[in-house]
Amino acid sequence: MITSTQNNQIKNIIALNKKARERKAQRLFVVEGIRAVAEVPAELLHAVYYVEGFADSAEGAAFVEDIKAKAPSIVIEEVAKSVFNSMSDTVTPQGVLALVKMQDFTLSDVLGEGTGKPAHIVILESLQDPGNMGTIVRTAEGAGATGIIMNGTTVDIYSPKVVRSTMGSIFRMPHIVVADLGETIEQLKSQFGVSVYAAHLRGEKFHDSFDYTGPTAFMIGNEGNGLTDEIADHASSYLRIPMEGKLESLNASVAASILMYETHRQRRRHENMV
């Protein structure tokens, strides 16, 4: 049992929770909670830690045995309660956390190549709120999106709050960070025939006026400032979501969800008609 916060493993976990640069350097991130850890694919598990007494219950013992059977070569450590509390990012820890390897997705993965589905992509420019990011990742899976593209100033998708918000979708939704978002958007349009739409106040047509049954991508901007003009200019078309009252815009994750599910609706209807 690990009983000291000075243990190198514990200090490393704390650093991974707090610092994006550590996560990027080590290609590892932290996943907390029984259900969340259980959803991690075996090949991505690096190490698992559980609080003292966790394995004393039948449920806890079964969980630990399942992890050992799932990933027999990884480190599995029991940790003193005070130490576990220091390494947890949550107010009320569930007593289990894992170090998980980052996946190496490619643009081909984000495009959904090999899935038999046309591209359905969300492009994020400088999104900052972890809750918005997590909701978008989770909704993207539910709406059948093929992937997510982000620029380097978007909130770290592997931060603890984002990971928790995705509810496991982070393991199943292809995502990449690109150095030049404008260049990548132009590549999507010219090389892969993707129609790229900007959710924008200058949009003259409502979002449900467009056909999303072909390769499609939606650009979502920063919560406070929206899309920059530089990135918005790369759009094939501007669109806007109809709103009543005095609102000018919706929360970023809400807007993204509406657009993704309109795409899902159109494609489901199209498939039923064919």
Burial of residue 133 (number of CB atoms within 10 Å: 0-12, 13-18, 19+): buried
Q: What confidence score (pLDDT) does residue 222 get?
A: 93
- At 215 the pLDDT is 98
Residue 46: its pLDDT value, please?
98
Q: What is the pLDDT of residue 116?
A: 93
Name which of 74, 97, 100, 77 is nearest 85 in CA terms. Answer: 97
Q: Are strands 216-220 and 195-199 parallel, antiparallel or unpaired?
A: parallel
- Going from the C-alpha of 216 to that of each of 68, 72, 202, the distances in angstroms are 42, 42, 20
Pairing between β-strand 120-124 and β-strand 96-101 as defined by DSSP bridges? unpaired
d(CA 153, CA 243): 29
Per run of 10 residues, the mean pLDDT along the chain (length 274 residues) is: 96 97 98 95 97 96 96 96 94 94 98 96 97 97 98 97 96 98 98 95 89 98 93 96 83 96 95 74
Domains delineated in the chain? 8-101 (3.30.1330.30), 107-273 (3.40.1280.10)
The pTM assigned to this predicted structure is: 0.94
pLDDT on residue 272: 81
Size of the chain, expressed as the number of residues it contains? 274
State both tokens at 165: 């918000």
User: What is the rounded distance in angstroms from the CA atom of residue 6 to the CA atom of residue 28?
Assistant: 20
Q: Which amino acid is it at 159? A: S
Closest listed residue to residue 97, CA positions, set 33, 151, 39:
33
Task: Supply the pLDDT for residue 274.
Answer: 57
* C-alpha triplet 75, 78, 83: angle, nearest 5°: 115
8 A C-beta contact, residue 206 and residue 258? no
